[in-house]
Amino acid sequence: MLTYIRLVTRRTVEFSCAIVIVGLLAGVAGAATTLFLHAIEHLAYRYSFGTLLDGVAGSNHVRRALGPMVGGALAGCGWWLLRRRSEVPALSATIAAHRPIPRLPMAIDAVLQVLLVGSGASLGREGAPRQLAAVWGDVGTSRLALTGRDREILLCCAAGAGLGAVYSVPLAGALFATRILLGTWHPRALGTALITSSLAVAVAAPVTHLKHPLVWPNFQLSYLFVFLAVALAPLAVAIGLTFDRLMTTAKGTALAKSWLLIPAIGAAGLLTGVCPIWLPQLPGNGRSVLEVSMNSELTLGTAAAILLLKPLLTALFLRAGAVGGLLTPALATGAAAGSLVTIALNQWAGIDLHVAAVSLSCAAGVLAVTQRSPLFAALFVWALARPPLWLLVVFAAGAYTAYGITVLRRKHQQPRACGCQGTTEAT
Q: pLDDT tens per residue, the chain (427 residues)?
A: 666 676 667 777 888 999 999 999 999 999 999 999 999 999 999 888 888 888 888 888 889 989 999 999 999 999 999 998 888 888 999 998 889 999 999 999 999 999 999 999 999 999 999 999 999 999 999 888 788 899 999 999 999 999 999 999 999 999 999 999 999 999 999 999 999 999 999 999 999 876 666 666 666 666 667 788 888 899 999 999 999 999 999 987 666 778 889 999 999 999 999 988 888 999 988 888 988 888 777 888 999 999 999 999 999 999 999 999 999 999 999 999 999 999 998 888 777 777 888 899 999 999 999 999 999 999 999 998 888 888 898 899 999 999 999 998 888 776 554 444 433 333 3
pTM of the model: 0.90
**Which SS3 state, helix, strand or coil, does residue 129 take?**
helix
Phi, psi of 124 (to 5 degrees): -75, 155
> Contact at 8 Å (CB) between 180 and 373?
yes
What's the pLDDT tens digit per position in 193-207? 999 999 999 999 999
Local structure of residue 6 (DSSP, 8 states) = H
CA distance 95 to 181: 9
**Partners of 325 in the β-ladder:** 124
> Contact at 8 Å (CB) between 324 and 113?
yes
H/E element holding 136?
A: helix 127-140
Name the region of 46 (left: φ>0; alpha: ψ -120 to 50; beta: rest).
left
CA distance 395 to 195: 25
CA distance 303 to 287: 14
Amino acid (one-letter) located at 391: L
Q: How many residues does the chain have?
A: 427
> Contact at 8 Å (CB) between 223 and 390?
yes
* Angle at CA of residue 419, ends 416 and 422, nearest 5°: 150
Indicate the average pLDDT of the chain. 88
**Partners of 124 in the β-ladder:** 325
Closest to 133 (Cα-Cα) out of 113, 107, 95, 167: 107
CA distance 286 to 279: 12
Closest to 160 (Cα-Cα) out of 135, 134, 140: 134
Buried b (16+ CB within 10 A) or exposed e, 31-62: bbbbebbeebbbebbebeeebbbbbbbebeee
* Angle at CA of residue 193, ends 98 and 324, nearest 5°: 65
